[in-house]
Chains A and B, each alone.
Chain A
């Protein structure tokens, strides 16, 4: 299982701030996880559509689509940051 977190506009468009899911494949990456999420629900299909802009952190470190994920990881998805 992995924990998925969603922040800001992404949380609002998905109507979800946190969920736990089983990893969809062996040797999964952020990209393969996102493919799985897209195939699961139309809201995720829209939010993660090709060309959409999103960022990801794995275990609270900035990551990218090629980052490998493993059971127990905390994977957070969010829009580009706007602090400061």
Chain B
């Protein structure tokens, strides 16, 4: 079981995670991650951001990342929801949820999905700062975080 969604609307974390465990008796572990908009980045205040994506490719890229996670660990379900459009500090950007029989697989797969999403899913952030709006630069630390799963 896996699902990947791209949407402008906010999501209800509790309700979404509930869908991963509803009517199941084999789930022993549910690991989740929520990414939020911060009010500062690279030394500047950030008053908001706009997330652009590649419609058509984005959902497939997210589902492919989840499929890689399911091939690598013993998982029961995966869920990824990523927002696009205009967001403000404190807003939720992304939710990853992973279920498994045991916590080890769920924790690892959740981190893997986020690390791969950061470097392979076609999203781009443009942030508003006092000096104007600017495209967010990719971070080398995100590349090294994704690279560690190849070792």
Contacts and interface: CB of A to CB of B under 8 A. Distances in A.
A8 B133 CA distance: 13
A76 B57 contact: yes
Which of B54, B60, B120: most chain A CB closer than 10 A? B54
A63 B82 CA distance: 23
Contacts of B118: 81, 83-84
Interface string A51-84: 0010001001110000000000000101111111
Dominant secondary structure of chain B at its interface with chain A: mixed
A8 B51 CA distance: 9
A71 B94 CA distance: 36
A84 B122 contact: no
B123 interface: yes
Interface string B105-142: 00000000010011111111110000000011110000
A57 B61 CA distance: 11
A60 B56 contact: yes
25 contacts: A7-B52, A7-B54, A7-B124, A9-B124, A53-B138, A57-B122, A60-B57, A60-B61, A62-B61, A78-B122, A79-B124, A79-B135, A79-B138, A81-B118, A81-B121, A81-B122, A81-B124, A81-B138, A83-B93, A83-B117, A83-B118, A84-B82, A84-B93, A84-B114, A84-B117
Interface of B: 35, 51-54, 56-57, 60-61, 82, 93-94, 114, 117-126, 135-138
